[in-house]
């Protein structure tokens, strides 16, 4: 079985974006605020949106199950207030849940949180509870920078984040660390902000001792860990300089990297440098990079091919493609087991 731990609902029916635009417009004209009930998306709309896209590519690439969360760049936590994000997260999470109900063997939901800059992360707990308890979410996406590229939040090791971590430990669910759109003109969203956030989050964890407080807390750092595996020597040296234990001991019981790295040499480095048990298969399709690589004739984001061509034993490949995900996402494992898989 191949589990893709990083898929977003980037192809939702256009009515979703239209509703969001109306919501954003209403921030300066509250009388025009749309009702969530105004948004009507049929099951057939949902089917059409994934069958032509994610599901088609999953079939072509042999991906069995995708952990499916709302479109990351559309989370846009910087927009409006907590209430704006709460309404928007509720809608987006429900859509991912409905897709998972339509294809219970193919999509499993992960929750987006209603984060808002400067607002206590504890305000996200009710939506998280709802997603886990009512929608069967097996994970959540945690945005370390809800300001959208201005980085006004404290590091992830700050105690203000702890209410979320306590809930994650209680539910035994991991978080993927994932920012949203950059509204800072310095940062291209998918070419700079996403990768920077991955690197930044990892270094925050190097500096802190978060897992002393939460020994079972688990984070997945997407996009192959940003710059981290490429600079593994630098991070090992910085950990030494900071008086921390070796990274394997300090972080690798709790921190995992996905395989959203879109060329063979990158995947080879990731698998060479990071222990196999810390690498989880993912493609983030349909995501930032949608073209075919003219150098190979294959899609850049067809990460299955890179894993197939990597120098891995069959056993290690199974770890990356399936077993590690079952360990990091126990609620996914339980769900699959309940399906006899």
The residue annotated as part of the active site, out of 87, 94, 127, 284, is 284
Residue 317 Cβ, how far from its own copies at the closest point, in Å? 19
Q: Does 284 qualify as catalytic in the annotation?
A: yes
Q: Which one of residues 114, 146, 149, 222 is an interface residue with its own copies (CB under 8 A)?
A: 149
> What is the phi/psi pair of residue 61, to 5°?
-100, 0
* Residues 339, 316: Cα–Cα separation, whole Å: 24
Q: What is the DSSP letter of 279?
A: E
Phi-psi group of 186: left, alpha or beta (phi > 0 → left; psi -120 to 50 → alpha; rest → beta): alpha
Q: Which stretch binds its own copies (CB under 8 A): 51-59, 78-86, 115-123, 234-242?
A: 234-242
- Which parts of 289-328 interact with its own copies (CB under 8 A)? 289-291, 293, 295, 300-301
162 binding its own copies? (CB under 8 A): no
Q: What is the dihedral of CA 320, 2, 341, 136, to 10 degrees?
A: 90
Nearer to its own copies, 30 or 243 (CB): 243
119 binds its own copies (CB under 8 A): no
The binder of its own copies chosen from 15, 22, 150, 163 (CB under 8 A): 150
Residues 210-229 that bind its own copies (CB under 8 A): 223-224, 226-227, 229
Of 114 and 224, the one with the shorter C-beta distance to its own copies is 224
Q: Which contacts of 242-249 are long-range, i.e. CB under 8 A and separated by 24 or more positions?
A: 242/206, 242/207, 244/206, 247/206, 248/275
Q: Do 72 and 102 touch, CB atoms closer than 8 A?
A: no
Torsion region of 338: left, alpha or beta (phi above 0 gives left; psi -120 to 50 gives alpha): alpha
Residue 266 binds its own copies (CB under 8 A): yes
Q: Assign 192 to helix, strand or coil.
A: helix
187 binds its own copies (CB under 8 A): yes
List 136, 232, 277, 331, residue binding its own copies (CB under 8 A)? 232
Token pair belonging to 239: 């950990």
| Interacting residues toward its own copies by CB under 8 A | 144-145, 149-151, 153-155, 184-188, 190-192, 195-196, 199-200, 203-204, 206-207, 223-224, 226-227, 229-238, 240-241, 261-263, 265-266, 268-269, 272-273, 288-291, 293, 295, 300-301
């Amino acid at each position: 079985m191949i589990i893709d731990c990083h898929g977003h609902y980037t192809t939702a029916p256009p009515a979703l974006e239209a509703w969001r635009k109306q919501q954003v417009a209403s921030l300066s004209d509250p009388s025009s605020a749309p009702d969530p009930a105004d948004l009507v998306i049929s099951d057939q709309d949902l089917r059409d949106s994934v069958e032509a896209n994610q599901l088609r590519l999953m079939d072509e690439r042999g991906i069995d199950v995708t952990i499916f969360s709302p479109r990351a760049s559309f989370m846009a936590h910087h927009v409006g207030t907590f209430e704006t994000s709460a309404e928007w997260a509720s809608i987006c999470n429900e859509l991912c849940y409905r897709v998972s109900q339509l294809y219970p063997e193919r999509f499993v939901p992960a929750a987006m949180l209603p984060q808002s800059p400067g607002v206590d992360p504890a305000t996200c707990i009710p939506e998280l509870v709802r997603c886990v308890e009512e929608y069967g979410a097996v994970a959540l996406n945690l945005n370390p920078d809800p300001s959208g590229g201005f980085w006004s939040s404290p590091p992830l090791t700050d105690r203000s984040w702890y209410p979320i971590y306590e809930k994650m430990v209680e539910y035994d669910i991991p978080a993927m660390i994932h920012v949203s759109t950059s509204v800072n003109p310095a940062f291209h969203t998918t070419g700079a902000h996403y990768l920077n956030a991955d690197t930044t989050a990892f270094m925050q964890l190097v500096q802190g001792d978060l897992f002393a407080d939460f020994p079972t807390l688990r984070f997945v750092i997407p996009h192959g860990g940003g710059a981290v595996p490429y600079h593994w020597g630098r991070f090992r040296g910085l950990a030494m300089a900071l008086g921390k234990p070796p990274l394997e001991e300090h972080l690798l019981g709790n921190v995992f990297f996905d395989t959203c790295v879109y060329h063979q040499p990158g995947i080879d480095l990731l698998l060479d440098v990071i222990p196999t048990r810390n690498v989880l298969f993912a493609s983030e399709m349909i995501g930032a990079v949608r073209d075919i690589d003219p150098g190979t004739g294959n899609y850049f984001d067809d990460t299955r091919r890179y894993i197939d061509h990597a120098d891995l034993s069959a056993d290690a490949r199974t770890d990356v493609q399936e077993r590690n995900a079952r360990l990091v996402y126990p609620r996914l494992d339980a769900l699959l087991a309940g399906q006899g898989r």
